[in-house]
Amino acid sequence: MRKLLFPIMILIYLASCVSYKGDQPFQPIAERVDINRFLGDWFVIALLPTPMEKSIANGVENYSLRENGEIRVTYTFRKGNTSGKEKVMYQRGWIVDTHTNAEWRVRPLWPLKLPYYILEVGNDYAYTVIGTNNYDYLWIMSREPDLEPLLLEGIIRRMEERGYTMDDLVYMEQNWEGRDDQ
């Protein structure tokens, strides 16, 4: 038990650091998100990946509203390529800024509660861009498994203007041909 005490204390300390809410989000967020229109499936088109996401395909993030107001985040993907083993990751989310609904916290595992910002959402809710409290991670997602190339180029340009380095941007393989699970 003593061997676990120090790592647990470090995790608690790190969680308290990253879950601190200052007066302003890390960067500009969407002006207003209609949470009911935002819920549902989002296909991951391109991303600055976390270590867990470096070699995955067919990533789909699903948001659903729980009775207690929390957001249930379900991330389904395939390991390696589109025919790899399907994996599912669950997270809990909380809307922090109820004026915009664009600033959340998500908990991938206890005790972490990480900043999660909706940076952009299309007027028609056909695409969204999600960022964190640094420029290390970014997700460009669409309601469909692909995104019109000019729209994607524009999003990437705007994210570069915000300060993201897109050299490590990964285009996620999305292949749903012949699958009933789309």
Give the pLDDT of residue 6: 43
Lowest mean pLDDT among 22-26, 79-83, 137-141: 22-26
pLDDT class of 133 with cuts at 50, 70, 90: confident
Give the pLDDT of residue 43: 98
Of the two residues 174 and 20, the one the predictor is more confident about is 174
Distances in Å between the Cα of 164 and the Cα atoms of 31, 104, 133, 137, 179 are: 20, 20, 12, 9, 34
Block residue for tokens 């292949």: 175
Q: What is the mean pLDDT of residues 131-144?
A: 94
In the chain, pLDDT over 90 holds for what percent of residues?
66
- The first and second tokens of residue 54, run together, are 């470096």
Of the two residues 70 and 110, the one the predictor is more confident about is 70
Closest CA to 173 of 68, 49, 22, 7: 49
What pTM did the predictor assign? 0.84
What tens digit of pLDDT does each residue of 52-74 get?
888 999 999 999 999 998 999 99
Residue 27, Cβ density class (10 Å: 0-12 exposed, 13-18 middle, ≥19 buried): middle
Question: How far apart are the C-alpha atoms of 131 and 159, rounded to whole Å?
Answer: 10
Question: How far apart are the C-alpha atoms of 140 and 28, rounded to whole Å?
Answer: 16
Question: How far apart are the C-alpha atoms of 51 and 63, rounded to whole Å?
Answer: 22
Which helix (H) or strand (E) is 47 found in, with range?
strand 40-48
Beta strands 86-95 and 138-142, pairing class: unpaired
Residues 6+ apart with CB under 8 A from 109: none
Give the pLDDT of residue 9: 42
Q: Is the dihedral of CA 116, 160, 122, 82 positive or negative?
A: negative
Give the pLDDT of residue 25: 58
Which helix (H) or strand (E) is 86 found in, with range?
strand 86-95
136 pLDDT more than 70: yes
Q: What is the mean pLDDT of residues 94-105?
A: 94
Distances in Å between the Cα of 18 and the Cα atoms of 62, 112, 116, 133 are: 24, 8, 11, 8
